[in-house]
Structure 1
């Protein structure tokens, strides 16, 4: 283990406990963000499939009383068969403990308390941002964030989100951001209905 700080041991112990509980799932094992950054491509239909698969695996986590806490492209892998895999549960929440990680700028819920406790609402908000990233190959407010660190979070707290009018799954992304879904399964079902 590269980190020998007591917090690291605790994070890895939680991660091990979560992996034992989750067992196997086809979507729970190169980060997609790096794939896109390095020029990787995907069809719209493939991106939509990845979005639905992500929603399904997040529901699977929630059914097991696990909240990942940091859903986003840096924690979504793409395997050799071009399936998305969610990983990195160090610092995540299990059995309603408080997660020790929070979603990155552009993915965190604008209500700090929601993000702080990795609530279902916060996870669905991050799911919306992750779908945005899967569809557009960019993070919400990435350009603003690159100019000034933390700006994506500032904009979301002000209720300013990227325009998703012409983005595939845009209405679903917007509903995730607005808190109009009560579960990740509702998101998966909406994606399935729309396509």
Structure 2
């Protein structure tokens, strides 16, 4: 390759350079010091009769020869310098050409991955939303498909309302159902949260993390399309009209274990680690088999993000860890605290913050902490829906996990991996744990 570049460079040397070199060579050949003819008999005889003249002529000839030598050397130096510059420029041109060729080749290789992700139709508003997914590529879905599938986002298609938008059910032409979150992205913060969630979900692949189907943008509205979770959110099941009646003790522990596994994936297996930053019961969704999946990653951050300390305080009252609320200290232990609050909701059936009077509210942590360690009182504060079906041995173990997670000092809280290991033995084998539940025996004679 270097030889080829040199040949290309020499081809670019102008013809006048070679003429210049020939002139220098011709001058050297005519130099008497280099190639002097034999002395003639006349000059020899004159030298014999006029020795002074000979000496004077010799000095003048020597001076002329030295001047000629200087000119030739100067000419050669200038010529070589010009040659070096020409070769350097030629090689530099070859390098630029080679580099551009490599860039074009690389771009062509990436074009298939990024196919369909160009945001030209969005007038550049979401210019940073360009990504490739671990699962292939994130589909850019035509807004008209969403509009038709939701009957122009009619109220009867509304599944729920959140702090960041409305969620609708959409039925596609192939009769499949999806969930569509509609976000107003008029502000910079809302736009960043939209892009952040799409970007993160496109990289996640875990059974306890919600799956993204695609995204869309129409005017100043952003749409994120997910798999449909037919049993809605944990908040609706626990605190809605059913008041948790569909969730028995074992299902509640399964939901807790699924949630912990989802967090473990974010904290331990994502590189860099991801902090959810807004874990709560409304962001834990349940499918038809009550498999729990984490959702709503608009506020999530990478643990090694250079601007993590510059994030403004965000989260939901009742779930925010005290060190983050007071000092802005955000770590994976902040998610562990929020998980502890969710575990208390599952255990006690109470909201994270309850209003006692119009001017006074009480958090579930403040209310429960003194009673969780009292083995005589604990069975009496369990959610009435499951109170009579809970084995007290397992109840105390779950309460101990919750107490550790909601410790005020983050260093006292366990890693989410330790929480997973603590819950696995408490969940029945058929629900994803290792507990073997004894089947009730039928009395004889029946």
Shift in alpha-carbon separation, 1:183–1:17, aligned structure 2, 3 A: same
Q: Does 1:69 align with 2:277?
A: yes
Is residue 109–residue 115 contact of structure 1 (8 Å, CA) maintained in 2? no
Give the Cα separation in 2 of the matches to 1:118 and 1:139.
24
Residue 88 of structure 1 and its aligned partner are, at CA, apart by 0.1
Q: Which residue of 2 aligns with 1:34?
A: 236
User: How many angstroms does 1:104 deviate by?
Assistant: 1.8
Query: How much does 1:148 deviate?
Result: 4.2
Q: Structure 1: state its 5+ residue gaps.
A: none
Deviation at residue 150 of structure 1 after TM alignment: 6.3
After superposition, give the CA deviation of every residue in 1:45-71 in whole Å (9 maximum; x if it has no partner): 110111111111101011211111011
**Contact kept in structure 1, 2:279 and 2:319, CA below 8 Å:** yes
Give the CA deviation at 1:38: 2.3
The structure with the larger Rg is 2
- 1:122 corresponds in structure 2 to 334
C-alpha contact (below 8 Å) 1:18/1:94 kept by paired residues: no
Cα offset, 1:11, TM superposition? 1.0
- The answer to whether the Cα contact below 8 Å between 1:102 and 1:118 also exists between their aligned partners in 2 is no
Question: Where does 1:18-97 land on structure 2 (aligned, <5 Å)?
Answer: 18-22=200-204, 24-29=205-210, 30-36=232-238, 37-39=240-242, 40=244, 41-63=246-268, 64=270, 65-97=273-305
Aligned equivalents of 1:147, 1:137: Cα separation in 2: 22
In the other structure, the counterpart of 2:424 is: 192
- State the distance in 1 between where 2:265 and 2:406 align: 20
SS of the residue aligned with 2:285? strand
Q: TM-score, normalised by structure 2?
A: 0.39
Look up the SS of the partner of 2:293 in the other structure.
strand
- Rate the CA distance shift 1:134–1:93 in 2: closer, same or farther, 3 A: same
- 1:170 paired with 2:399, answer yes
In 1, the alpha carbon distance for the partners of 2:203 and 2:312 equals: 19
> What SS does the aligned partner of 1:51 have?
helix
- Count residues in correspondence: 188
Structure 1 window deviating more from structure 2 (111-120 vs 167-176): it is 111-120
Tell me how far 1:91 sits from its aligned partner.
Answer: 1.8
Secondary structure at 2:372 match in 1: coil
Give secondary structure in 2 for the equivalent of 1:125: helix
**Equivalent in 87, 99, 102 of residue 314 of structure 2:** 102
Shift of 1:26: 1.1
Deviations 1:65-119 (A, max 9, x none): 1111011101111111111111000021124333656332221112236883431
Cα 1:6–1:175 change in 2 (3 A) is same
CA RMSD of aligned residues (A): 2.5
TM-score w.r.t. the length of structure 1 is 0.83
Q: Does the 8 Å CA contact 1:70/1:103 hold for their aligned counterparts?
A: yes
